[in-house]
């Protein structure tokens, strides 16, 4: 009926539960309230410090009550559900926290996600929570995958991710996914004044909230709950990687606010990482984007926490010596989510006689330049050894490119680490600007690798669809936010927040380059002006001067602009307000 009479189809139609016809690609959704991440606590002291920090911030007496909540941290994917007048109108992934993907049709297939809420809910509301797959459903899905000769998933999280991001929502509908609600985005009014009250509302509106969600009045209560859930972890039926603690009172949450990307009023208390032991076959040196040489352990593949690990970081030379790790040793490896696997220690009882001590190289293995350690003001050597090859080192150039296209920078669909390696090897992309001239060069002389070599006759020798798509994505990215572009340049000490500050301050790449170069030539007044800007310290300014002091870097920036990249300035901060240009000092006491 809906197919014949589309105008009769309701937004909350039950037919969406079984999946809809595939659409072309996922649209982008800008989150009106950013989807934050969480700071981490690893020890009881960290948790105590969390409580103390909040009390200090709120200026609470030591014996004043500070109610907190505790709940498991689900190892899945976060999603945001927008309801208008009680009807689910949009569902999105977290993405980079500011912009996610529109996966409404996929989310509608989850039994835990209501399409319509009861009467009387706020007009506009966004429910946020975690999409996950239970252990039992994961095992059953993998059994089906194996029976169908398809590749099994490595862990429930990957299975959930693979199931959710399906253009064909019939596939999503056939996958057993679940959803726990734990926070919110926009809400036209708050129906409660505590976290606990909000969760009760969510439940009343038909969402599942975690049964292990509790309220406590002392950090000891958090630690007891952490220990209790950690002991029962295996029997919960789904993967969790820690606990999340939140301040209960919403007025306190509002006062506490957030720093960069994480709220001050919440923290994730992680469970210990999973460990396994295996043989260390070799140690290789990886050269990073800033020239840092990182020793990487090449391991006999081993499964740690559901994932096969064959590489792990050894951090630096001092660390290898301190832990006395030798090639040929049996080593303990650990893996925590979001963190690169690490080598913890050697198993000394199992050390073979022919184990080999590792000698840290004095030269960059990629370009042969001298590798040196930074020395700080007191003459103390830094733990990091760096290649001095700069832009002449191919490894640094390649890693810079990977950074340039990474998610928080240019974020070009279809151009990830793997593709950068491929284009690099084919000498098609060696510097950021080459990305934007790729299409023209392909049209002149496309390398065989990106052409159809077999398949239907009319396709032979023509460009692969994926490449055509990539060119479209590159073209679209010529318009890019100025802060993302600045972050993408990979200047040392310029993270995302600093990049935003720089974009806001300079307004354009040209102005930034010009001012920094003038400052480098000794314009002291300019330097003093910049040092006065909040967040611009000496280290940052020195780093900017070093970066734009390299002719090649300036040429590269210029070439980006010539290739048609048009950075969009950030919205200007209003200048014509009564407080603009004034320094205002508050004294006294703020009374609630």
Residues 38-67 that bind ligand IVH (CB under 6 A): 38
Smallest gap, in angstroms, from Cβ of residue 242 to ligand IVH? Answer: 9
Is the Cβ of residue 154 or residue 268 nearer to ligand IVH in the bound state? Answer: 268
Q: Mention every residue, 6+ apart, whose C-beta is less than 8 A from residue 514.
A: none
Tokens, residue 324: 């006395």
| Distance in Å, CB of 199 to ligand IVH, minimum | 10
Answer yes or no whether residue 182 interacts with ligand IVH by CB under 6 A. Answer: yes
Query: Taking CB under 6 A as the rule, does residue 130 contact ligand IVH?
Result: yes
Q: Contacts with ligand IVH in 391-410 (CB under 6 A)?
A: none
State yes or no: residue 73 binds ligand IVH (CB under 6 A): yes
Q: Which strands make up the sheet holding 124-132, listed edge to edge?
A: 87-93, 77-84, 124-132, 178-187
Judged by CB under 6 A, the stretch of 12-20, 30-38, 281-289, 374-382 that binds ligand IVH is: 30-38
Binding status of residue 107 toward ligand IVH by CB under 6 A: no
Contact between 481 and ligand IVH by CB under 6 A: the answer reads: no
Residues 6 or more apart in contact with residue 394 via CB below 8 angstroms: 366, 367
SS (H, E, C) 121-164: CCCEEEEEEEEECCHHHHHHHHHHHHHCCCCCCCCHHHHHHHHH
Question: Is 73 among the residues known to form the active site?
Answer: yes
Q: Is 268 in the site for ligand IVH (CB under 6 A)?
A: yes
- The yes or no reply on residue 80 touching ligand IVH (CB under 6 A) is no
Report the distance separating Cα 564 and Cα 376, nearest Å.
41
Q: Is 293 a residue that touches ligand IVH (CB under 6 A)?
A: no
User: Which residue in 78, 155, 163, 433 binds ligand IVH (CB under 6 A)?
Assistant: 78
Q: Given candidates 74, 283, 292, 480, which one binds ligand IVH under the rule CB under 6 A?
A: 74
Name the residue with the smallest CB distance to ligand IVH: 78
Smallest separation, CB 268 to ligand IVH (Å)? 5
DSSP annotation of 8: G
User: Which of these ranges, 58-66, 73-81, 157-165, 543-551, lies near ligand IVH under the rule CB under 6 A?
Assistant: 73-81
* Active-site pick, 28, 73, 345, 582: 73
CA distance 84 to 127: 11
Across 400-443, the runs of DSSP E, i.e. the strands, are: none
Q: What is the 3-state secondary structure (H, E, C) of 536-586?
A: CCHHHHHHHHHHHHCHHHHHHHHHHHHCCCEEECCCCCCCCCCCCCCCCCC
- How many Å apart are CA 156 and CA 133, to the nearest integer? 6
- Helix, strand or coil, per DSSP, at residue 529: helix
Output DSSP code: residue 261. Answer: T
Contact flag: residue 358 with ligand IVH (CB under 6 A): no
State the pairing for strand pair 274-287/293-304: antiparallel
Catalytic residues: 73
Contact positions toward ligand IVH, by CB under 6 A?
Answer: 36-38, 71, 73-74, 78, 94, 130, 182-183, 244, 263, 266, 268
């Amino acid at each position: 009926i809906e197919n014949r009479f589309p105008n009769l189809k309701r937004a909350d139609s039950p037919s969406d539960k079984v999946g809809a016809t595939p659409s072309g690609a996922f649209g982008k959704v800008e989150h009106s309230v950013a989807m934050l991440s969480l700071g981490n606590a690893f020890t009881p002291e960290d948790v105590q410090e969390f409580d103390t920090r909040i009390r200090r911030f709120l200026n609470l007496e030591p014996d004043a009550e500070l109610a907190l909540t505790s709940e498991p941290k689900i190892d899945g994917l976060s999603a945001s559900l927008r309801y208008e007048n009680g009807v689910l109108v949009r569902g999105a992934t977290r993405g980079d926290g500011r912009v996610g993907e529109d996966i409404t049709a996929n989310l509608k297939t989850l039994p835990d996600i209501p399409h319509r809420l009861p009467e009387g809910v706020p007009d506009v509301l966004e429910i946020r929570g975690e999409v996950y797959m239970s252990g039992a459903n994961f095992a059953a899905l993998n059994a089906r995958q194996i029976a169908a000769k398809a590749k099994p998933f490595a862990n429930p999280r990957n299975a959930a991710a693979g199931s959710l991001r399906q253009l064909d929502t019939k596939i999503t509908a056939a996958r057993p996914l679940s959803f726990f609600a734990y926070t919110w985005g926009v809400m036209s009014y708050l129906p409660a004044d505590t976290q606990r009250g909000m969760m009760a509302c969510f439940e009343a509106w038909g969402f599942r909230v975690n049964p292990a969600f509790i309220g406590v009045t002392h950090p000891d209560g958090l630690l007891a709950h952490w220990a209790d859930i950690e002991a029962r972890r295996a029997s919960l039926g789904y993967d969790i990687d820690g606990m999340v603690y939140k301040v209960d009172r919403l007025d306190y949450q509002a006062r506490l606010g957030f720093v960069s990307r994480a709220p001050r009023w919440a923290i994730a208390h992680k469970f210990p990482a999973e460990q396994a032991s295996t043989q260390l076959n070799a140690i290789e040196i990886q050269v990073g984007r800033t020239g840092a040489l990182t020793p990487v352990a090449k391991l006999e593949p081993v499964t740690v926490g559901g994932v096969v690990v064959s590489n792990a970081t050894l951090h630096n030379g001092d660390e290898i010596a301190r832990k006395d790790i030798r090639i040929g040793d049996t080593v303990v490896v650990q893996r925590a989510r979001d963190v690169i696997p690490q080598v913890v220690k050697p198993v000394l009882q199992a050390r073979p006689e022919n184990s080999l001590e590792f000698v840290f190289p004095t030269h960059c293995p990629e370009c042969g330049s001298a590798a040196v350690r930074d020395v700080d003001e007191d003459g103390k050597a830094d733990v990091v050894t760096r290649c001095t090859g700069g832009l002449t080192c191919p490894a640094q150039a390649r890693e810079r490119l990977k950074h340039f296209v990474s998610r928080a920078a240019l974020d070009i669909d279809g151009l990830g680490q793997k593709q950068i390696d491929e284009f690099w090897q084919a000498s098609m992309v060696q510097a950021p600007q080459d990305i934007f001239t790729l299409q023209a060069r392909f049209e002149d002389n496309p390398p065989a690798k990106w052409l159809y070599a077999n398949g239907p006759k009319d396709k032979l020798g023509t460009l692969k669809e994926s490449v055509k798509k990539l060119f479209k994505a590159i073209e679209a990215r010529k318009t890019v936010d100025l802060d993302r572009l600045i972050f993408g340049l990979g200047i040392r000490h310029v993270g995302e927040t600093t990049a935003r500050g720089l974009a806001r301050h300079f307004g354009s790449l040209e102005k930034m380059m010009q001012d920094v170069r003038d400052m480098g030539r000794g314009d002291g007044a300019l330097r003093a002006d910049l040092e006065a800007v909040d967040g611009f310290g000496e280290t940052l300014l020195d780093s900017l001067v070093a970066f734009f002091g390299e002719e090649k870097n300036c040429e590269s920036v210029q070439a980006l602009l010539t290739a048609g990249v048009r950075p969009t300035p950030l919205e200007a901060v209003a200048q014509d307000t009564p407080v603009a240009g004034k320094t205002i000092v508050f004294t006294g006491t703020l009374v609630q």
